[in-house]
Amino acid sequence: MQIKTLEKVIRESWNRDTCYPGCVDQWNPENPSFGQCAITALVVQDYFGGELLYCKHNHHYWNRLPNQEEVDFTRIQFPDVTIICVDDIKSRAYVLQSKAAIKARTPQRYELLKSRVEQKLNS
């Protein structure tokens, strides 16, 4: 699969119900990537492997693929002047099982997004 194909399908799969709970009131179809970064990074990792990068200043996740290319399908949620820097590399277990992840319903939101992506790819 091409990375652009996955990006297109993920973008079509975002919705208010996959949004980070603290951002739901601000989510809208004009900026569908808003509040979707952790679960999107997990789905990208499912298909392409690599690392989960984290910027603590913006509470933002994205991917570094095994070939060292960085992909960030949700970067567009931020204004162009926003500085996104790698502050940490998080484990998959942390992103899915930390206290913050449980509170944010990350496992459930991830499964929902993953399911939608799989359905679109298989249709």
- The overall average pLDDT reported for the chain is 96
Q: Residue 20's pLDDT is what?
A: 97
Q: Residue 5's pLDDT is what?
A: 96
**How large is the average pLDDT for residues 49-68?**
97
Q: Residue 115's pLDDT is what?
A: 98
pLDDT band per the 50, 70, 90 thresholds, residue 1: confident
Per-residue exposure over 56-80, b if at least 16 CB sit within 10 Å of its own CB, e if not: eeeebbbbbeeeeeebbbbeebbee
The 3-state DSSP class for residue 80 equals coil
* CA distance to 6, 35, 99, per residue, from 73 (Å): 10, 12, 25
What's the predicted TM-score (pTM) here? 0.96
- 16-31: pLDDT as tens digits: 999 999 999 999 999 9
Percent residues over pLDDT 70 in the chain: 100
Domain boundaries, the chain: 3-122
Cα separation, 34 vs 118, whole angstroms: 21
